[in-house]
Amino acid sequence: MRRIPQILIGASASGGGKTTFTTGLLRLLRDRGLTVQPYKCGPDYIDTKYHEMASGRVSVNLDSWLASEEHLKQIYAKYASDADVCVTEGVMGLFDGFEGMRGSSASIAALLGIPVVLMVDARSTAYTVAAILYGFKHFYPAIRIAGAVFNQVASERHFSFLCQACEDVGVECFGYLPRLKELEVPSRHLGLTLDATYRFDEFAGKVAASIRQSVDVDRLLRSCSSSMASVVERQKAETIASASVTELPKVETILAASVSEQAKTESIVSASVAKQPKAGTIAASSVSEQPKVETILAASVSEQAKTESIASASVVKQPKAGTIAASSVVEQPKAGSMAVLPSVGEQSNLETIASASVEEVPNEEARCPKAGRMRIAVARDAAFNFIYRENLARLEEWGTVTFFSPMADEALPEADFVYLPGGYPEFFLESLANNESLKRGLRAYVEAGGRMLAECGGMMYLCDSIRGMDGKDYPMVGLLHQQATMEDMKLRLGYRTIRAGGQIWKGHEFHYSSVSPGQPPASIAVATDARGNTVDTPLYRYKNLIAGYAHLYWGESDLMKLWEV
């Protein structure tokens, strides 16, 4: 069984530098000629786009609210099968979940056996980080803290105090990122234009250069190397994703940890600053000339904030893992056009580790064509692109997927099923409003009984109009008789359980827009949040059109059953 580096980047809170460091590390490893597979804890759409642009490979969400533990194990192994390194970016603080630690980055690390590298924000602190590191090291024994990287370090002297703290509590120090303006994550809307994409490319290169200079990447990789076989055999006691709150580690247990596992208190209290490794000379390995971004998914980055929604609250035959559709913001990719970065170095396969009344429609219209033979049209351009990778993989299993642009294409592809995902319609209202032929095609398709799913931004597009941030009304498709508006913007977010008839679906809601009272179809579902509280998240149905604000996850479900409600 081969051993490969597996890394989960965690932190004590949001804003601690996880995204910056993950982006730079992905780019640096790619520049070394390694095939690096990125993942993201939680339902976030933004960070996965950063990962894809930095690494050239599709980034996969690992979310224990949306998916089962077994499914998470399987997709983690599937996308890692041809990788040299696996890098997972955590969400929020390491132990923050939708209920206590449930659904947290730590629960993913425990489930999959991934060593954790802590990003520690060192602004306005020095030796006090010893207490923070000590707590992280001993709080939850089911995970392994491989070491720490410090962010926002002011000077070499500052770094020396931080190194002393690591030494005294027995946590390995891999290096630091300096306090530099150019290392701050740029606009959350990167990817909306090619120019913005190239700006991101420049940012990723700068972070990679900083990591190369002041982080011992080789030592980090050695420390985080482990066998993928452990994912299957990991004891359930180490799995927190489905554990009850009473099963979480108790404070008394933590405080009573054996002396042999603790750093000596005396050394922490009285330690002087020991000899430190010289900053700036940690990593000596050279890298090859940075390649251009071979493959960038033409997708905008969502308005989604850093997945703070977590706090508010199976696997089928797939195309080759790690591929990204080559496209530009204006031109849309042809169906099936995929590009794979060549894997450099020795490759070998890993062991497989392994669900109200509506208007009646004719049964013929509701019947799903034979699996594998469906014609599926998916909207994907700068306005619509919030698609979970495993959702797309399921669609590819069911038939031939053709991508189209509501902004640029004149005609809707021939299809048995149309998917309008979320995205940024509010930034492209004029282009969407002016494309009358495509709007007519969508109306005709639905009126004829065609099956369609529209989520969030896709649902907004199907309304009579969208009122933009400029106060103007832009005419849209007109299948849902209500107006979506960007006025009085308020963030609405959180996990959602959607109960439609006897079916239960999991999803996530994140949007600033709202819909004004109109005459939409009645909702066919009742929605609750992660704590079971009822929320106002309708799921509309008109003929065979189903639409709502929730982004559903069907990576291990049969989406077509939704039309049986």
The tens digit of pLDDT for each residue in 543-559 reads 999 999 999 999 999 99
Q: What is the DSSP string of 458-526?
A: HHHHTEEEEE-TTS-EEE---SEEEEEE-TT---EEEEEEEEETTEEEEEEEEES-EE-S--PPPB--E
Residue 3 pLDDT level (bands cut at 50, 70, 90): confident
What H or E segment, with its residue span, contains residue 227? strand 225-227
- What pLDDT shows up at residue 187? 55
Handedness of CA 381, 387, 393, 396 (dihedral sign): negative
- What pLDDT shows up at residue 355? 30
pLDDT tens readout for residues 241-279: 444 333 444 433 333 333 333 443 334 333 433 334 443
- What pLDDT shows up at residue 340? 31
- What pLDDT shows up at residue 16? 84
Residue, of 521 and 434, whose pLDDT is higher: 434
- What pLDDT shows up at residue 365? 40
Three-state DSSP state, 37: strand
Provide the phi-psi class of 347: left if phi over 0, else alpha when psi is between -120 and 50, else beta.
Answer: beta
Q: Is 245 exposed, middle or buried (0-12, 13-18, 19+ CB in 10 A)?
A: exposed
How far, rounded to the nearest angstrom, does the alpha carbon of residue 340 sit from its chain's CA centroid?
Answer: 20
Residue, of 310 and 419, whose pLDDT is higher: 419
- What pLDDT shows up at residue 182? 72
Residue, of 200 and 484, whose pLDDT is higher: 484
Please tell me the distance from the alpha carbon of residue 498 to that of residue 314, in angstroms, as a whole number. 19
- Per the annotation, the verdict on 456 as an active-site residue is yes
Mean pLDDT of 366-372: 53
Residue 195 pLDDT level (bands cut at 50, 70, 90): low
Q: Is 351 exposed, middle or buried (0-12, 13-18, 19+ CB in 10 A)?
A: middle
Parallel, antiparallel, or unpaired: how do β-strands 492-500 and 503-511 relate?
antiparallel
- Tell me which amino acid residue 157 is: R
Residue 184 pLDDT level (bands cut at 50, 70, 90): confident
Parallel, antiparallel, or unpaired: how do β-strands 225-227 and 3-11 relate?
antiparallel
pLDDT tens readout for residues 511-534: 999 998 788 888 999 999 999 999
Three-state DSSP state, 138: helix
Does 194 score more than 60 pLDDT?
A: no
Parallel, antiparallel, or unpaired: how do β-strands 551-552 and 374-379 relate?
unpaired
Mean pLDDT of 49-58: 94
Mean pLDDT of 122-137: 94
- What pLDDT shows up at residue 345? 34
Query: In whole angstroms, how far apart are CA 440 and each of 233, 426, 458, 479?
Result: 54, 20, 16, 10
- Residues facing residue 395 across a β-bridge: none
Tally the C-alpha atoms within 13 A of residue 470's C-alpha that lie toward its C-beta: 8
Three-state DSSP state, 346: coil
Mean pLDDT of 77-105: 96
Dmax over CA atoms of the chain, in Å, equals 80
Please tell me the distance from the alpha carbon of residue 464 to that of residue 128, in angstroms, as a whole number. 57
Mean pLDDT of 200-216: 94
Does 312 score more than 80 pLDDT?
A: no
Helix ranges (H only) for 363-491 are 363-366, 389-398, 429-434, 436-447, 457-461
Backbone angles phi, psi at 7, to 5 degrees: -130, 135
Does 55 score more than 90 pLDDT?
A: yes
Q: Share the mean pLDDT of the chain.
A: 79
Taking alpha carbons only, the member of 462, 471, 319, 320 closest to residue 401 is 319
- What pLDDT shows up at residue 189? 52
Q: Which residue has the tokens 């089962």?
A: 68
Residue 153 pLDDT level (bands cut at 50, 70, 90): very high
Tokens for 186, please give them: 């740029």
All domains of the chain, ordered by start, with CATH? 3-270 (3.40.50.300), 355-564 (3.40.50.880)
Residue, of 293 and 119, whose pLDDT is higher: 119
- What pLDDT shows up at residue 94? 97
Does 316 score more than 80 pLDDT?
A: no
Q: How many CB atoms lie within 10 A of CB 317?
A: 8
- What pLDDT shows up at residue 353? 31
What is the b/e burial string over 128-162, where b = at least 16 CB atoms within 10 angstroms of the residue's CB?
A: ebbebbbebbbbbebbbbbbbbbbbbeeeebbbbb
Please tell me the distance from the alpha carbon of residue 346 to that of residue 83, in angstroms, as a whole number. 10
Residue of 86, 163, 173, 456 marked catalytic:
456
Residue, of 233 and 123, whose pLDDT is higher: 123
pLDDT tens readout for residues 95-127: 999 999 999 999 999 999 999 999 999 988 999
Does 286 score more than 70 pLDDT?
A: no
